[in-house]
Amino acid sequence: MKIAIASNDETTIADHFGKARGFLIFDIRDGEISQQQFRMNNFTGHARGMQKVDHNIDRHGPILEALNDCNVVISRGMGQRIYNDLRNTGIQTLIVDENNAETALRLFMAKKLNDNPEKSCNH
């Protein structure tokens, strides 16, 4: 299982998925972290300088492709549309209150990490 956590500093969870500097990718095997990497964000619309572009165009394709090897995505915030798009591709998506990436990972693995979809934004 691969878990992607949006992060700006490789320690804390980013407040906004699309604006995150990158994603901590944890490969979990037999309940243990077998591999960890940081994947730079050069694929979200925000990272590609598209902040002022109409959100109704389909610009989530690159992020969905970049994280298609992940089973789970965790962030402290994201737009409702990307939340739904990730879930519709079969990626479990969580908006969490937890700030520390490793703590969130442990809570997720213990099935104690709460999703707060009501904290998504409609921008």
Question: pLDDT for 100-112, tens place per residue?
Answer: 999 999 999 999 9
* Residue 49 pLDDT level (bands cut at 50, 70, 90): low
pTM of the model: 0.86
DSSP 112: -
Which domains are present in the chain? 2-51+58-119 (3.30.420.130)
Interval 68-102: pLDDT, tens: 999 999 999 998 889 999 999 999 999 999 999 99
What type of residue sits at position 32?
A: E
Q: Which of 91-105 are b and which e, b meaning 16 or more Cβ less than 10 Å from the residue's Cβ?
A: bebbbbebeebeebb
Average model confidence (pLDDT) across the chain: 88
Q: What percent of the chain has pLDDT over 70?
A: 85
Q: How far apart are CA 38 and CA 26, in angstroms?
A: 9
Are 2 and 26 contacting, i.e. CB atoms less than 8 angstroms apart? yes
Tell me what pLDDT residue 56 has: 53
Among 65, 66, 74, smallest CA distance to 109 is for 74
